[in-house]
Structure 1
Amino acid sequence: MELAAELSRTVKGEVRFDAGSRATYSTDASNYRQVPIGVVVPKTVEDAVRAIRACHEAGVPVLSRGGGTSLAGQCCNEAVVLDWSKYCTRLVSVDVAAKTCIVEPGIALDELNDQLASHNLMVGPKPSTHVSCTIGGMIGNNSCGSTAQAYGKMVDSVVRLEILTHDGCRAWVGETDDEAYERILAEGGRLAELYRGMRELRDTYMSEIRTRYPKIPRRVSGYNLDSLLPENGFNVAKALVGSESTLVTVLRAEIQLVDVLPARTLVVLGFSDITAAADCVPAILPHKPVALEGVDEQLIQLEHSEHLAEQAIKQLPKGSGWLMVQFAGTDQEEVDRQAQALCDDLHRKPSAPGVSFLDDPSREEELWQAREAGLGATAYPPQGPETHEGWEDAAVPPEKLGDYLREFRSLLERYEYENASLYGHFGQGCVHTRIPFDLKTADGVAKYRRFAKESAELVVSFGGSLSGEHGDGQSRGELLPLMFGARLVEAFGKFKALFDPDDLMNPGKVVHPHRLDENLRQGSDYRPWEPTTHFAYPEDDNRFAKAAARCVGVGKCRGHESGVMCPSYRATREEEHSTRGRARLLFEMLNGEVIQDGWRSDAVHDALDLCLACKGCKSDCPVNVDMATYKAEFLSHHYEGRLRPLSHYSMGWLPLWARLAAFAPSLVNSVSNLRLVKALGGIARQREVPLFARQRLVKRLAGRTSPAGHRGKVLLWPDTFTNNFHPAIGEAAVQVLEAAGFEVITPDRTVCCGLTWISTGQLSTAERVARRTLETLKPQLRDGTPIVVLEPSCAAVFRDDLPHLLHGDQDAHRLAHQTKTLAEILTEKAPDWRPPTVGRQAVAQPHCHHHAVLGFDTDEKLMRQYGIDVDVLDAGCCGLAGNFGFEQEHYDVSMACAEDKLLPSLREAGEATLVLADGFSCRTQIDQSDVNQRPMHLAEVLAAALHGTQPQPERPSAPSRAARTAVAAAAVAAAAGPALAWLFRRRSR
């Protein structure tokens, strides 16, 4: 394609017109799907300017995209997509005195606020997608969030914008007084044409602008023509905010900042239902809270069922609808007085609400996170169909909110959409909901269309806005005449034509929009491929296609702040290496239009290749996308009947090689780190292959009889890693369990959970291994004996993978129920037992699978009870992740993941700090880094306390150089012997 060649020639960044990249950017967080022409990832702002120039010369549409979390379809189009979020992320400058900053459009909100924190400043608006939404995207969408109660919408924060039109007009724009206006006209050119046109447009439609725009805090729909009014300073920058990439591309922005307010108090009010909560909003507003959020009973029940904010939810006052009222300032006593004054005021009124003060910052944070997770929590309710955007953020005057909600509920009931939860920014009259639209049948789509029109009419009757936060895009673009009337919609069209006369900026959105029931990601012709799979996917009706479509696009996997997911995105900042990007590719693979080669797809393989299978997305993703399982499924079919990577045979078959190595561990250790051996195994030359123990755990425990314990029997699972590499951990666990009153037994033959075969997608082998394990454990599974597993990844296999791989096998489900970590068995079965106090400061690095599947809270609580002053690191994945970090092609990403947070945290902790890491991968990554601490398993620490000694890890020692040389020479001679003998015979003839 000529355009792709021209872009590649002129752009220093990345130009991608391949099927995989186009598939990755085919949708956003909305109901819509439009496959782009290509993708450009500019290295610099000037790079983007060159890209747009090339697109203009080719007459090709452009879409400028931020975090890609838009809910109205404005971030997908048949255009060249500019993704700013990888490189154009600079905080250009900060003016502390003026409280302003200049930024590039790709910087994420949380990243920017982190950089501003040293100045005690922040950006005012804070959408729930703050971990991933970019400043450019916030400007394009006129974003708000809960803090808009105090700081307004993004339009209220923008001072100036550096803009570029599709035809190349570039300028800084902002408030324009008469003198500046005349100067621009005098200079002539395209900019003068724009300013003259805007002034004429404003004057022509001034009456309608002043009378038809709702006077409410959350009007996001339509263009901001009101910012061009004389009383608003003819502010061109503010007029362009919220234009959704349909007018200009924002190159840089000057933002007004606000002070960080450290003192906070959260008051939660309980009401009989959500409409009663809404009725109370006008009584609260005079107290000037910084946030005023509403949540209904259904959302709270969904959050509780998904184990989100459980402790905070327990502290809610009685009721079926709640208001979260936050006060903030610089003085805690003053903030508390504000909160108390509100409560006193409300208690003087009839039907006073219930009140709870959440004065524990961790509980407050839990509740805010639960509120922010509303979209994800309501997307897939346990009972009922999946829900969708389509009418999820309308806004009305706050004083009319209660009456609006009653009528809106009636409308939902009439359309039989009763399962919709209602929540949102009630202090500004903005209501969020996801509705169980049927978007897969013609009747369902027609019903959705009728509902959207009636909902728009209802909002307009209350003097409200079709969108109070998420924008118009395609969801609401064609409904704008109902809100603004024909004359203002005509003005919008002229505004668009002024800046974009050829309709090449994000066409089909806002102005001349596609119908709201076009370009649906599902639609009445939706019929994805339904392949036969190894895993069952019971949460998705046993359909891989439904599992692959689970992602709702909110982009939490693109965050850099906390949690486990998505380590490869953090290392690469690549959309295709985020959980969301991979989900999009799998969706497109099953859709079959862009990616047509199914399981054999190299595009899908390449995207999944950097997935560490950490399972962080299974717990941290708002809709629990399980990319590790999807990857294993894909690899099993992708390599079916084909040769696999060398590492799949070396590390994928590790349990088998470990059994063989047990016959001569010293010999194996002597050759395993030879460069040739590592190359043959697909192992990175920078890696040290872990050394096998001289004697396996099962051998050390053979013939040993555990004393009968008063707490009964437990079976200690000899996982491959503990058994073959760190048997001292297993011995330590036996000592601890026996001291706690348990009789410890082990399996009577060699067993394996199948982890390495699962992670490399060798699922048929994993099934055979798993069934053999279930047969071995049959007596314990039938009598309910707890299975204590020391390696978190193996415990996660039993808890999560096997029940899905062997779905319906009751023994697999019994094993999942009976599998316990060391902390769990001690907490549940020996709650009164205490070892001698450890009395050490420690940091703990939870294994990713521990975090995602097992949960680390029990471990943390137990450590504190046992006298370990532990700091649980929020450092994400260690980066090793089983075979991933050992593979040559993944070494750099593996170390980038470790250097993201883990290794810096350990360096900061210091050498005297005890490092706890139950995962073999975590310990290996730390051992092979430059930090001086040697990580230990919890079992080792507790066993040391029993003996009254300082914890010291036991690791196999490396063979000497002389031994390695001798063994290597012998190995070479043995390999060369047959060849030399053959050669000697030939020469003797």
Structure 2
Amino acid sequence: MTKSSALLFKDLAAELIRCVDGEVRFDPGSRAAYSTDASNYRQVPIGVVVPRTPDDVVAAIAVCREHDVPVLSRGGGTSLAGQCCNTAVVFDWSKYCTRIDAFDARAGSVVVEPGIKLDALNDALAPSGWMVGPKPSTHVSCTIGGMIGNNSCGSTAQAYGKMADSVRALQIVTYDGMWRWIHDTDDAEFYRTVRSGGRWAGIYRDLHTLVKEYGDDVRARYPDIPRRVSGYNLDNLLPENGFHLAKALVGSESTLVTITRAELSLVRRPAASALVLLGFDDIAAAADAVPHVLEHEPAALEGLDHRLVELEHSRRLAEKALRQLPPGRGWLMVQVDGDDQDDADHKAKAMVHALHRSARCESAMLDDPAHKRQVWAAREAGLGATAYPPTGPETHEGWEDAAVPPERLGDYLRDFRALLDRFDYGSASLYGHFGQGCVHTRIPFDMRTAEGIAKYRRFVVDAAHLVVDYGGSLSGEHGDGQSRGELLPIMFGERVVEAFEKVKAVFDPGNRMNPGKVVKPYRLDENLRFGTGYLPIEPATAFAYPEDAHRFSHAAARCVGVGKCRGHESGVMCPSYRATGEEHHSTRGRARLLFEMLQGDVITDGWRSAEVRDALDLCLACKGCLSDCPVSVDMATYKAEFLHHHYHGRLRPMSHYSMGWLPLWSRLAATAPRAVNTVAHTSGLDSAVKALGGIDPNRRLPHFASERFTRWWRRQRRPSGRRGTVVLWPDTFTNNFDPDIARDAAEVLEDAEFTVTVPNGALCCGLTWISTGQLGVARAVLHRTLRALRPALRTGTPIVVLEPSCAAVFRADAVNLLDGDEDAHRLAGQTFTIGEVLRRNAPDWHPPHIGGRAVVQPHCHQHAVLHYTQEQQLLSDSAVSTRVLDAGCCGLAGNFGFERGHYDVSVACAEAKLLPALRQTADGTVVLADGFSCRTQIRDLTEDCAPRHTASLLAEAIRSRKESSGDATHAGGG
């Protein structure tokens, strides 16, 4: 940005702040967070406006018009063709403009603001039995406005059509400030509008003239297929289609108007469905069967090939689901809806019976809701599986959603596979919405060298000609943007492209609406996020990043932008975004800032960046992104790395010295725990302790135990077991705050006939130093731990860790931090939770009968790294009816919730799902939480809930069993 431009935009920002009630952000951090979408392209915006109401956008456009700057209306920012990034003022609707203005249950229609997410809207509509028809794979994060801008589809488009088919009317504003509702237009309304004069009369008159001039070209060049998304919807302006201006503007990608509200037609939720899986010799044979399946009117018809399945197996993204697949190397997923489950099953069986007569295939039928969800999740995980294959180069979008007539899909796939092979892109996986002829893929384009980019250009030109030869569309779902805008003449011819340019001139004669996309587009090989000029800083790092070629720049660029971290529905990721709704508090937003930090042209102060520090400040280091992100972005590790460098040689926040050094302070407190507890919990003194330690005044400090577990253990004489030895790890939290849990665990392990040993000396996994970015200390602590555990590591002795966050360090962080240390690898392989060691090493041990009900709040690291499966199975074997909460992060997350200034976000995270779920729990239900943070948060924020560790529940039942059998041996006996 030049000096004169900076002065101009300073005035622009000031005027926007004066005129707009929403948030106006021209700072480097905000511009960095919106610099790209889910595409190959990068264009740093002028600034960002987060409107509180649609009126804010009208006011903002007026200011931008006065300053003659472009504007871009953005939804979830998940576009794959570059239409959601531009050098413009970006409007992000998704934080505030999420209201449902009207709902007509009788008519099946709803009026909404454009920022509402699809899943959030459908959740609100669910009690009525209505829903929005189209459902893209990004349904957790995509907004209604973005879906309209992109003419979104998804798997359900097989039954309900594209977004254009759902739009009844749109409220729009043009760049020159004209604002009105538009819809279908009969002759009477058309002439009434024209006679009224003014700007709208001119728009309607010009469009009518344009349709008369180019109508026959539109009829001739628009392919008659279900998935034509490329180009403007000029066919909706044809007289035979009712001159429906609202539908014509769907898919215009913010290049013509800005949508401020939308009225949608809704569809009824299916009463029941069955899912049929069909296996074929290869993906082309599967595509050949599509016409036969379509005869049975499926609600969804998806395809996936063996490469995608192999990648998902290797990434362990959907193992349970993929076990459901019948034999084959290409598959169709067919959903059949019915009036009830018997009806759906009957239709599905009839279809399978007919298919076996017309096609050679294997089949399996699912009607269990859990199994169906697993399989659909596997299909939606396609992007994550294919972005970073374990072998071979990374892949990219750029030619990922072409569509052809479904009846020609098999032959097209054979020719497309030959084209991929000719360009040496043969490793690409093929999958997609086969019932409508739409094929998804990510291709190993080289986007960093001139030769690779030139090859990419040649490929997409040849691919465009191939699709057109088959009577297809360059885009069948993701839009044109910059990826395909330059190729539109191949599909439509010069006359229709000329018509597009005239439509653009009608609505936006100054080319200020998302310029360079669709019409008069940038070249498809410019503005690349990587490109020949990509030269990020390659800093020396503390972590090794083995999954990213040992390069932090690769890790920072790992995010592909699909925005799953911006959802609110399930999983752990991303708790701070769920609390604030801020892009830079999402995993994606933080990844964008780290990427720009290494680029150095927007964020210019590297590791010292205040913008990056502030974005990472509310990262809970929950590691939810490691498991829930489709490409396994590990923001907890990136945050630790950043803090390590940011504070190198500088004074740190006080919380880094208090909670970061908690293991040391705990050792000191163990010498006089009662005195320490008195000081920490006496009114007045506790405030001073919190202030000194950088701890939020609203937090209650935990009580140190009167005796550490390790000290108690040294007095015990424990029995030997026939199963061999296990090491019970005395983590800082269990040892100093909850020693009874360690005693219970020892009793359970001994009941299973293990010999339990506990390490001598004060040892630690280094967690608190890692989470606060004190990685040099963490490395030293881990080396000391490895030396102490060396005998156990040499003999393969299991290390049982009760605190999930500490177990996660041993499983994942230690290997990354101590790259090349074989003992660290041994420790990772020998670290077990108590459930894992019992199920693995004592398979014939029978847990005690417990009975009753329990709800489980898994620790985030348990969810992301360890999983709760073995503990859950133990409880099941004990006749406990468990419900594992899908409530996300508890919000405490180690030191995060204790740090000054984090309390409100911490509580908001808990209030999102966890606390409401606990309040609804029936009396007598046991609450289980293996994580110290989770137990602390639940105790602090509820009145009478006493969460327990799984080991304690088992131990209590063991003691009861022994008492009932007359054995008086208890924990603590010798």
The normalised TM-score by structure 2 is: 0.97
Alignment of 1:875 onto 2:883 = no
Alignment of 1:253 onto 2:265 = no
Q: Is the 8 A contact 1:906 1:931 kept in 2?
A: no
Displacement of 1:315 in angstroms is 2.1
Equivalenced residues, count: 950
Task: Judge which range, 696-705 or 745-754, deviates more.
Answer: 696-705
Task: Name the counterpart of 1:525.
Answer: 533
Q: Is the 8 A contact 1:618 1:852 kept in 2?
A: yes
Task: Name the counterpart of 1:341.
Answer: 350
Among all aligned residue pairs of Structure 1 and Structure 2, give the percentage whose two residues are the same amino acid: 67
Give the partner amino acid of 1:558.
R
Q: Is the 8 A contact 2:654 2:692 kept in 1?
A: yes
Task: Name the counterpart of 2:756.
Answer: 744
Displacement of 1:865 in angstroms is 1.0
Measure the CA separation in 1 of the matches of 2:848 and 2:288. Answer: 57
Displacement of 1:950 in angstroms is 14
Q: Is the 8 A contact 1:380 1:387 kept in 2?
A: yes
Q: Is the 8 A contact 1:911 1:933 kept in 2?
A: no
Task: Name the counterpart of 2:444.
Answer: 436
Q: Is the 8 A contact 1:87 1:106 kept in 2?
A: yes
Task: Name the counterpart of 1:125.
Answer: 134
Give the partner amino acid of 1:668.
V
Measure the CA separation in 1 of the matches of 2:458 and 2:506. Answer: 33
Task: Name the counterpart of 2:925.
Answer: 913
Task: Name the counterpart of 2:563.
Answer: 555
The one of 604, 618, 621 equivalent to 1:613 is 621
Alignment of 1:301 onto 2:310 = yes
Task: Name the counterpart of 2:838.
Answer: 826
Give the partner amino acid of 2:794.
R
Q: Residue deviations 1:27-86, cap 9 Å, x none?
A: 000000000000000011111111111111111100000000000000000000000000
Displacement of 1:831 in angstroms is 1.6
Q: Residues 276-295 of structure 1: matches in 2 within 5 Å?
A: 276-295=285-304
Measure the CA separation in 1 of the matches of 2:188 and 2:961. Answer: 80
Alignment of 1:504 onto 2:512 = yes
SS of 1:704's equivalent? coil
Q: Residues 27-106 of structure 1: matches in 2 within 5 Å?
A: 27-106=36-115
Q: Is the 8 A contact 2:169 2:263 kept in 1?
A: yes
Displacement of 1:463 in angstroms is 0.4
Q: Is the 8 A contact 1:474 1:508 kept in 2?
A: yes
Displacement of 1:312 in angstroms is 2.2
Alignment of 1:564 onto 2:576 = no
Displacement of 1:429 in angstroms is 0.2
Alignment of 1:923 onto 2:931 = no
Give the partner amino acid of 2:379.
R
Measure the CA separation in 1 of the matches of 2:217 and 2:753. Answer: 81
Measure the CA separation in 2 of the matches of 1:211 and 1:866. Answer: 69
Task: Name the counterpart of 1:689.
Answer: 701
Q: Is the 8 A contact 1:684 1:888 kept in 2?
A: yes
Alignment of 1:708 onto 2:720 = yes
Task: Judge which range, 369-378 or 853-862, deviates more.
Answer: 853-862
Displacement of 1:911 in angstroms is 3.8
Give the partner amino acid of 1:404.
Y
Alignment of 1:8 onto 2:17 = yes
Displacement of 1:949 in angstroms is 8.6
Task: Name the counterpart of 1:777.
Answer: 789
Measure the CA separation in 1 of the matches of 2:503 and 2:847. Answer: 74
Q: Is the 8 A contact 2:345 2:367 kept in 1?
A: no
Displacement of 1:328 in angstroms is 1.1
Task: Name the counterpart of 1:729.
Answer: 741
Alignment of 1:671 onto 2:683 = no
Measure the CA separation in 1 of the matches of 2:56 and 2:193. Answer: 27
Displacement of 1:860 in angstroms is 1.4
SS of 1:909's equivalent? coil
The one of 202, 207, 215 equivalent to 2:224 is 215
Q: Residues 837-852 of structure 1: matches in 2 within 5 Å?
A: 837-852=849-864
SS of 2:266's equivalent? strand
Give the partner amino acid of 2:628.
D
Measure the CA separation in 2 of the matches of 1:853 and 1:930. Answer: 28
Displacement of 1:262 in angstroms is 2.6
Measure the CA separation in 1 of the matches of 2:579 and 2:48. Answer: 20
Task: Name the counterpart of 1:962.
Answer: none
Give the partner amino acid of 1:582.
R
Displacement of 1:862 in angstroms is 1.7
Alignment of 1:515 onto 2:489 = no
Alignment of 1:115 onto 2:124 = yes
Task: Name the counterpart of 2:207.
Answer: 198
Q: Residue deviations 1:897-948, cap 9 Å, x none?
A: 0000000000001342100000000000001012422000011100110122
Give the partner amino acid of 1:506.
N
SS of 2:264's equivalent? strand
Q: Residue deviations 1:761-795, cap 9 Å, x none?
A: 00000000000000011110111110000000000
Measure the CA separation in 2 of the matches of 1:385 and 1:910. Answer: 52
Task: Name the counterpart of 2:3.
Answer: none
SS of 1:656's equivalent? helix
Give the partner amino acid of 1:687.
R
Q: Residues 352-367 of structure 1: matches in 2 within 5 Å?
A: 352-367=360-375
Q: Residue deviations 1:690-718, cap 9 Å, x none?
A: 00000000011113232110111000000
Q: Is the 8 A contact 1:131 1:560 kept in 2?
A: yes
The one of 406, 411, 424 equivalent to 2:419 is 411
Q: Residue deviations 1:613-641, cap 9 Å, x none?
A: 00000000000000000000000000000
Measure the CA separation in 1 of the matches of 2:870 and 2:748. Answer: 17
Task: Name the counterpart of 2:606.
Answer: 598
Give the partner amino acid of 1:765.
V
Measure the CA separation in 2 of the matches of 1:413 and 1:950. Answer: 68
The one of 815, 822, 833 equivalent to 1:810 is 822
SS of 1:250's equivalent? strand
Q: Residue deviations 1:809-862, cap 9 Å, x none?
A: 000000000000010011101122123211120000000000000111222122
Displacement of 1:338 in angstroms is 1.1
Task: Name the counterpart of 1:971.
Answer: none
SS of 1:294's equivalent? strand
Give the partner amino acid of 2:377.
Q
Task: Name the counterpart of 1:796.
Answer: 808
SS of 1:928's equivalent? helix
Task: Name the counterpart of 2:5.
Answer: none
Alignment of 1:836 onto 2:848 = yes
Displacement of 1:112 in angstroms is 0.2
Moved over 4 A (4+): none
Displacement of 1:182 in angstroms is 1.3
Task: Name the counterpart of 1:657.
Answer: 665
Q: Is the 8 A contact 1:267 1:358 kept in 2?
A: yes
Task: Name the counterpart of 1:976.
Answer: none
Q: Is the 8 A contact 2:700 2:940 kept in 1?
A: yes
Q: Is the 8 A contact 1:914 1:933 kept in 2?
A: no
Displacement of 1:325 in angstroms is 0.5
Measure the CA separation in 2 of the matches of 1:308 and 1:263. Answer: 27
Measure the CA separation in 1 of the matches of 2:317 and 2:771. Answer: 28
SS of 1:356's equivalent? strand
Q: Residue deviations 1:400-441, cap 9 Å, x none?
A: 001100110010000000110000000000000000000000
Q: Is the 8 A contact 2:847 2:874 kept in 1?
A: no
Q: Is the 8 A contact 1:944 1:950 kept in 2?
A: no
Task: Name the counterpart of 1:979.
Answer: none
Give the partner amino acid of 1:679.
A
Displacement of 1:573 in angstroms is 0.4
Q: Residue deviations 1:7-29, cap 9 Å, x none?
A: 00111111000000000000000
Query: Which runs of 5 or more residues in structure 1 are unaligned?
Result: 952-989
Displacement of 1:183 in angstroms is 1.4
Task: Name the counterpart of 2:966.
Answer: none
Displacement of 1:359 in angstroms is 2.6
Q: CA RMSD in A?
A: 1.0
Q: Is the 8 A contact 1:32 1:73 kept in 2?
A: yes
The normalised TM-score by structure 1 is: 0.95
SS of 1:637's equivalent? helix
Q: Is the 8 A contact 2:734 2:741 kept in 1?
A: yes
Query: Which runs of 5 or more residues in structure 2 are unaligned?
Result: 1-9, 964-974
Task: Name the counterpart of 1:160.
Answer: 169
Alignment of 1:186 onto 2:195 = yes
Q: Residue deviations 1:537-583, cap 9 Å, x none?
A: 00000000001000000000000000000000000000000000000
